[in-house]
Amino acid sequence: MQNEATLLNQLKSGDTKELAFKTLVELYKERLYWHIRKIVISHDDSDDVLQNTFIKIVRNIHNFKGDSKLFTWMYRIATNEAITFLNSKARRHQISDETLQQLTLENLEADVYFEGDEIQLKLQNAIAQLPKKQQLVFNMRYFDAIKYKDMSEILETSEGALKASYHIAVKKIKLYLSND
C-alpha cells in the first residue's frame, strides 16, 4: 500500500493531484461506502453521500494538517456528510429523523443491494432503535473494528464516553433481540 505521506504530497501537488485522487478513491471507497451505508442504509443514498464525501475530501485536502491519520480525517468527513444528508432528507420530507429511519428500514428488504437475511434485518431494526450517537459508535466498533482512539478523533469525543456508549448500545441491542 502506498505511503500516506507520499499520497498526501501527491494530492496537494497540481501535477499529481488527479492520479493521486484516483489512488485515494481506490484505496478507501469500499470502506467509506460501507461506513456510510450503515448510517444512511439505502444503497443509492450511500452512493450519493460517498460521492459528496470524496468531493469534500479533494476540495479540503489542503486543510488536512496531519494531526490524525488521513483515513480518520476522511471517516469524519463521511460521517458528517451522512448525518447532514439524513437531516436534509428528513427536513425535505417534513418528517422526523426517527420516522425517516423507520421508512428506510422498511424499504431495506426490497433493496436489490441488500443481501442480508431475517437475522440481519432484526439487527438493523435493533440498531435503529438506538440514539444516533450510539448507532454510530456501535457500527464503527462492531462492524468496522475501529479503535476507540481513532473513533475519538472521528467523533470528537472522549474514549471513555465512547466505551460507555458502546456498552449501553450492546445491552440495548441484546434486550431488543431477546424480546423480539
Q: Which CATH class is domain 117-180?
A: mainly alpha
Cα gap 86→92, rounded to integer Å: 10
Cα gap 89→76, rounded to integer Å: 20
pTM: 0.81
Query: What is the CATH code of the structural domain delimited by 1-115?
Result: 1.10.1740.10
Contact partners, residue 31, CB within 8 Å, separation at least 6: 71, 144
pLDDT for res 74: 95
* Packed helices 97-108 and 70-92: angle between N→C axes, nearest 10 degrees: 100
- 3-class secondary structure per residue, the chain: CCCHHHHHHHHHCCCCHHHHHHHHHHHHHHHHHHHHHHHHCCHHHHHHHHHHHHHHHHHHHHHCCCCCCHHHHHHHHHHHHHHHHHHHHHHHCCCCHHHHHHHHHHHHCCCCCCCCCHHHHHHHHHHHCCCHHHHHHHHHHHHCCCCHHHHHHHHCCCHHHHHHHHHHHHHHHHHHHHHC
Cα gap 153→160, rounded to integer Å: 13
Domain boundary assignment for the chain:
1-115, 117-180
Digit-coded pLDDT (tens) for 66-101: 888 898 999 999 999 999 998 898 888 888 877 877
How many CA atoms lie within 13 Å of 98's alpha carbon, on the beta-carbon side? 4
Digit-coded pLDDT (tens) for 118-168: 778 788 888 888 888 999 999 999 988 999 999 999 999 999 999 999 999
pLDDT for res 128: 84
Tell me the pLDDT band of 21, cut-offs 50, 70 and 90: very high
Q: 50: closest CA among 67, 69, 25, 19?
A: 25
Cα gap 11→34, rounded to integer Å: 24
